Amino acid sequence: MNRRTFALYALIVFSLGIGLGVGGAHLLISFGEERSAVQVAGQPALREPAVPPAQQNTPEMVEPASKTQGPEPAPARPEPQTPPEVQSPPQPDAVSRPKPLILPEHEDYKDHQRPLAYEEEPPELVIETAHPPGPEPETLPKPNIALIPKGPVQNWRKNALSLKEVPPGPQIAIVIDDAGVDRRRTSQVIGLTGPMTISFLTYASKLEPLITSAREAGHEIMLHVPMEPGNTKVDPGPKVLATALTDKEIVQRLEWGIQRVPGIIGINNHMGSRFTQDERGMRLVMEVLRRHGLMFLDSRTSTKSVGASTAKLYEVPYATRNVFLDHEPKLEVVQKQLVHLERTARRNGYAVAIGHPRDATIEALAQWLPILAERGFVLVPLSAIVAKREGIPQLAVRLDTN
């Protein structure tokens, strides 16, 4: 072999070696890249130190650089779960209020402004006798009337409605008490056929326009005085006459109420099932009424009331409620009570009913009052009933002091 041939062979071998080296290098690089890609997708065997779950980010999925099969990819990490909210226990009502015996209907007032109840539910819804049972005057120590000052004017007669005529027939007096607090319904009562007697609560506000309107509509005016109930779960309102008060406090509270509503014929009790049983308290009430020349209507919220008998002892004109119209504020109930009222008036010649500014009462009276005369009854103010019991001619009940 000559030199030229040897050199040619050597060049060929050298070229083949370089080619094999470059191809091998390419194979190694490709394998390394593929291996690297598989490790990223399937999680490398050697890992970084674990990161706390709160700091972990969801890893991005990297596609492998080739279709070459490798280890099965590990399942994606579950996302950290937010712990469930802890439910706070239900909070009790800020103010626990006892359920009233008779629900009020005052939409115009917020809860904290509402009285808990319009009235106690009386034990006797209908008293058919003209003179309800009660302690006889002889069983109570008689006061020395001569030592108890008497007002120079009989204000119950001075403020009574003047009647031009009194047709024959059983007489009915309708007293609507608790007036003044629910101004809208009080106004509706004032718009009913009269004459009626409207008794305004001592603590009602802005009474002057309502009282003026009631007088102009031909109604009589009374004062509705809060007195202590036997049920402590009902609230009679501020300035209540209570058995725990001193004599001076009872008198001051009653005087305060009388001064707030001018032109009244007298008072009747708001609630008062406990106070009207208390002889000391009722004696103080009658002393005040005697001095002012006012009358007393016993709402009869207790069968043991000494109101009427004490009034008689103190020579204070008085009357007693016969029928309670709306112990349930439902139209059919009020209508049923009006039937009892008619029956009682026929039996005794007269009857006194008490109702309240409630929707059912207003609706029932609006239907019944216009036809009362056709049914043979005479609607009169309360002063006419008192005058009849006192032996005073009803046409002359009003005194003209001018």
The tens digit of pLDDT for each residue in 333-371 reads 999 999 999 999 999 999 999 999 999 999 999 999 999
Tell me if 360 sits within 8 A of 392, measured CB to CB.
no
pLDDT score for 15: 56
Asked if residue 78 has pLDDT above 90, the reply is no
Tell me the backbone φ, ψ of residue 283, rounded to 5 degrees. Answer: -65, -40
Tally Cβ neighbours within 10 Å of residue 309: 19
Say which residue, 284 or 328, is predicted with more confidence: 284
pLDDT score for 150: 85
pTM assigned to the model:
0.71
Amino acid (1-letter code) at residue 160: A
The tens digit of pLDDT for each residue in 94-103 reads 333 343 334 3
pLDDT score for 284: 97
pLDDT score for 29: 42
pLDDT band at 28, cuts 50/70/90?
very low
Segment 305-326 mean pLDDT: 94
CA distance 61 to 41: 7
Q: Which of 3-12, 134-143, 215-224, 307-316 has the lowest mean pLDDT?
A: 3-12
Strand pairing report for 220-227 and 197-201: parallel
CA distance 64 to 266: 103
pLDDT score for 146: 81
pLDDT band at 10, cuts 50/70/90?
low
Tally Cβ neighbours within 10 Å of residue 319: 24
The two three-digit tokens of residue 42, written as one number: 């399937």
CA distance 168 to 401: 28
Sign of CA dihedral 268, 271, 273, 277: negative
CA distance 313 to 141: 9
The two three-digit tokens of residue 228, written as one number: 């202590």
Share of the chain above pLDDT 90, in %: 58
CA distance 400 to 397: 10
pLDDT score for 17: 55
The tens digit of pLDDT for each residue in 254-283 reads 999 999 999 999 999 999 999 999 999 999
CA distance 199 to 206: 15
The two three-digit tokens of residue 31, written as one number: 């394998």
Which among 218, 220, 211, 219 has a CA at the least distance from the CA of 180?
211
The tens digit of pLDDT for each residue in 151-208 reads 888 999 999 999 999 999 999 999 999 999 999 999 999 999 999 999 999 999 999 9
Burial class of residue 7 (count of CB atoms within 10 Å of its CB; 0-12, 13-18, 19+): exposed
Tell me the backbone φ, ψ of residue 380, rounded to 5 degrees. Answer: -135, 160
pLDDT score for 318: 97
pLDDT score for 7: 57
Number of helices (H), then strands (E), in the chain? 10, 9
CA distance 95 to 332: 35
pLDDT score for 216: 97
DSSP 225: E
DSSP 106: -
